[in-house]
Amino acid sequence: MKKVLITLIILSTIVILPYLFWKIDDSNLQKVTIIDKTVPTNNYREHHGLTWYMNYLRYSPGVGNKPLIKSKDYYGYHPNQETINGVNRLEELTNASDIIYVADTYGVYEQEDLNDQITSNKITGGFTQEELAVIDQKLRTSETKLFMEFNSFASPTEPEVRNQLTSMLGIEWTGWTGRYFSSLNIETDHEIPQWAIAYYEEQNNLDWNFLGSGYIFTHEDGRVIVMENSSKSNGINFTFTEKGQQITGMTQSQEYSYWFDIHVQINSDNVLAEYNLQLEGTQLDQLRSEGIPSSFPAVISSSYYQSNLYYFAGDFADISDVPSFYQYKGLPFLNKILTTLSSDQQKAFFWRTYIPMLKQLLEEPHVSTQSEGNTH
């Protein structure tokens, strides 16, 4: 009986200690502003996982010293109230923040199912000149880390604002976005956008009869290219550059299976990781003729006055579900281990690539400059 009691005490201590370690760790205590305009429903998918990780790190919202609430503590569209935050709210939040994270600005449309959307009236969306001015002032006047993801400045953001943002980040958008699909069969994969199917069939005067895996590339002008994949890969991944390896300690990502955008870097020193398309030579030649390179930046860093800027050319923070609690030291690492053999590619990518990478970038020191768009 005594041995059983001792065993129970030891096991209980092992279980409780990580919680106690989390409670007494106050090493971070930074403030973060999350920007998400793509919240058509109350699942908050574009910033749900990010909010969880910020709470795990004990970061708090720009206003207040409390855990972040995914339904309240972000700047953007709030579906429950059907309201849109004003730019004064953004200024209030960012002025008090150490970190600004732009999760998505695509917006909310009357047709909520974006896969079915071909034409739909916009309720809200896009980065505005006033919002950019607020963020620009913050970056210039105090040490801040700005993170931006896929669809932070594509349509419906106005070209002038987009050009200013890409100039700050040190990149040039080609106008192309893409995604890998494990199956291009529209009978079995219902995530293939209906608008992409319609545009492809109209432009090529062909029926959509793809069955295997492959890529869909879409241009802002409406062009659609489909490339079936003959290799044995299960998605696209990216390789870290020498600089990226030094910062993150990582060499290669998990396979990524969601949307990405295609950029040309202005300064190669800014690139921390690069995508590589797993396609045959003739397919790559065809893509190059359309302005799509075979490799392109996945993670980009730059410095802007006193601030560090990072761009993720993918929907990296997107995840459907996370643990119901975060108050447990080592929980991200535990999820990293548990997803080693996961068939859910997006979940494996989130825990095994995105979170470890984000952790290192959050810890990277600031490098001050006196001019725009310098590398660090």
DSSP 16-75: HHHHHHHHH--S---EEEEEE---SSTT-HHHHHHHHHHHHTT-EESSSSS---TTTSSE
Q: Is 30 exposed, middle or buried (0-12, 13-18, 19+ CB in 10 A)?
A: middle
CA nearest 52: which of 40, 27, 37, 69?
69
Contact in structure between 180 and 229 (CB atoms under 8 Å): yes
Q: What is the dihedral of CA 312, 337, 47, 135, to 10 degrees?
A: -40
Q: How many residues make up the chain in this entry?
A: 376
**What is the greatest pairwise CA distance in the chain?**
79
At 376 the pLDDT is: 52
Cα separation, 180 vs 217, whole angstroms: 9
Sign of CA dihedral 227, 233, 237, 243: negative
Q: For the chain, what percent of residues have pLDDT higher than 90?
A: 59
The residue-averaged pLDDT of 75-87 equals: 79
**pLDDT greater at residue 7 or residue 67:** 67
At 125 the pLDDT is: 81
At 124 the pLDDT is: 76
Residue 214 has pLDDT above 60, yes or no: yes
At 232 the pLDDT is: 63
Quickly count: other Cβ atoms within 10 Å of residue 331's Cβ: 19
**pLDDT greater at residue 370 or residue 71:** 71
Contact in structure between 127 and 161 (CB atoms under 8 Å): yes
Cα separation, 54 vs 56, whole angstroms: 5
CA nearest 256: which of 229, 228, 236?
236
Cα separation, 199 vs 204, whole angstroms: 8
Q: Is 55 exposed, middle or buried (0-12, 13-18, 19+ CB in 10 A)?
A: buried
DSSP letter (8 states) at residue 268: G
Segments making up each domain of the chain, as ranges: 28-173+263-277+293-363
**pLDDT greater at residue 26 or residue 240:** 240
At 278 the pLDDT is: 82
Q: Which two tokens stand for residue 240?
A: 């870290």
Quickly count: other Cβ atoms within 10 Å of residue 228's Cβ: 15
Residue range 321-338, pLDDT digits in tens:
999 999 999 999 999 999
Residue range 241-292, pLDDT digits in tens:
999 999 999 999 999 989 999 998 778 889 999 999 888 888 999 999 999 9
Question: Could you tell me which CATH class the domain 28-173+263-277+293-363 is placed in?
Answer: alpha beta
Residue range 110-148, pLDDT digits in tens:
655 445 545 556 677 888 999 999 999 999 999 999 999
Contact in structure between 76 and 36 (CB atoms under 8 Å): yes
Quickly count: other Cβ atoms within 10 Å of residue 138's Cβ: 22
pLDDT band, residue 16 (cuts 50/70/90): confident
pLDDT band, residue 374 (cuts 50/70/90): low
At 281 the pLDDT is: 82
CA nearest 372: which of 263, 272, 270?
270
Cα separation, 169 vs 310, whole angstroms: 7
At 64 the pLDDT is: 73
Q: What is the dihedral of CA 271, 273, 279, 284, to 10 degrees?
A: 0
CA nearest 261: which of 300, 230, 234?
300
